[in-house]
Amino acid sequence: MKNVSTVILCGGRGTRMRELARTIPKPMVPIGDRPLLWHIMEWYARFDCTDFVLALGWRGEAIKSFVLHHRLLLGDFAGETGTGGEFAPLNSADPALEPWRISCIDTGRDSRTATRVKRVADRTSGDQIMVTYGDGLSDIDIDSLLRFHRDHGRLATISAVRPPGQYGEVSLSRDGRVEVFREKPAVTDRRVNGGFMVFEREAIDRYFPEDRDVMLEEGPLNALARDGELMGYQHDGFWRAMDDPNDHAVLDQMWNAGKAPWRVG
């Protein structure tokens, strides 16, 4: 396990997902036979990043239940009912059941993303903290991302990706410094923030307010970019966020067809 914690933002309502996320948080929407959250964690675990801090919000109890019972939910099990009866997985060799350290932290039902990160920062370890959204999948090289962050010496790094749709726009200088961060322009053929971020602990101490409920984009990221402390790691491989039912259908089809770039093993 690397001495770097990964905060996954799991508190959003997923309103654009309609029926798919009406009763469960978006990270629990299944891709194939497993929740989106599992796919994200499995990708980080590929790079030996297995210390996860889940920033929970709306319907967070569904994620807590999954974490507590995932060994049974993801495979076959057997046991006895009645008083004292216990159930155990039958397929214990399944890689999905490898041990991870997971902290489930309630960060407020409707808190915004920067506030959620601030509220779980004391649950993380190491000098750097990785942060990602609970709805994006990619084949990004996490080791390379961390090396890039540590080498440039600034306080924060975002992943600058080429999206399939319209998202917040990122403008980079030649050396990779984020010059401008624009939230959801009308038209763009440039890069966007794909999540998969790295922050020095100092960045969270200095740029994440305790007395205001703000989004990452409207608060800390803009301030870090303004001060020349935000860098963009350019990723040209696969990335897609699950924003609506169409995105879900694409990701689900890729997984079921065995053509998911983020598949491990």
Predicted pLDDT at 247: 85
| Residue 77: strand, helix, or coil | strand
pLDDT higher than 70, residue 124 = yes
Residue 253 CA: distances (Å) to CA of 75, 129, 134, 260? 21, 32, 19, 9
- Is residue 183 classed as helix, strand or coil in its secondary structure? coil
Per-residue pLDDT, 21: 67
Decide which of 187 and 22 is more confident: 22
Q: Is the distance from CB of 232 to CB of 157 less than 8 angstroms?
A: yes
Higher pLDDT, 91 or 99: 99
Angle made by CA atoms 174, 154, 141, in degrees to the nearest 5:
70
| Predicted local distance difference test score (pLDDT) of residue 76 | 79
Note whether 14 and 135 are within 8 A (CB): yes
CA distance 109 to 35: 20
Instruction: Report pTM.
Output: 0.86
Q: Which amino acid is at 165?
A: G
Q: How far is CA 179 from CA 8, 223, 229, in A?
A: 26, 11, 10
At residue 165, the pLDDT reads 55
C-alpha 137/C-alpha 205 separation (Å) is 28
User: How far apart are the C-alpha atoms of 163 and 243, rounded to whole Å?
Assistant: 12
Side chain identity at residue 87, one-letter code: F
Nearest Cα to Cα of residue 138 among 196, 88, 94, 84: 196
User: Quick one: average pLDDT of 234-242?
Assistant: 93
pLDDT tens track for 34-84: 999 999 999 999 999 999 999 999 899 999 999 988 777 777 778 888 777
Of 260 and 211, more confident = 260
- The per-residue pLDDT for 188 is 52
Give 3-state DSSP helix, strand, coil % of the chain, rounded to 5.
35, 25, 40
pLDDT at 14 exceeding the cut of 80: no
Q: How many Å apart are CA 95 and CA 263, to the nearest integer?
A: 12
Percent of the chain with pLDDT over 90: 60
Which pLDDT belongs to residue 187? 44
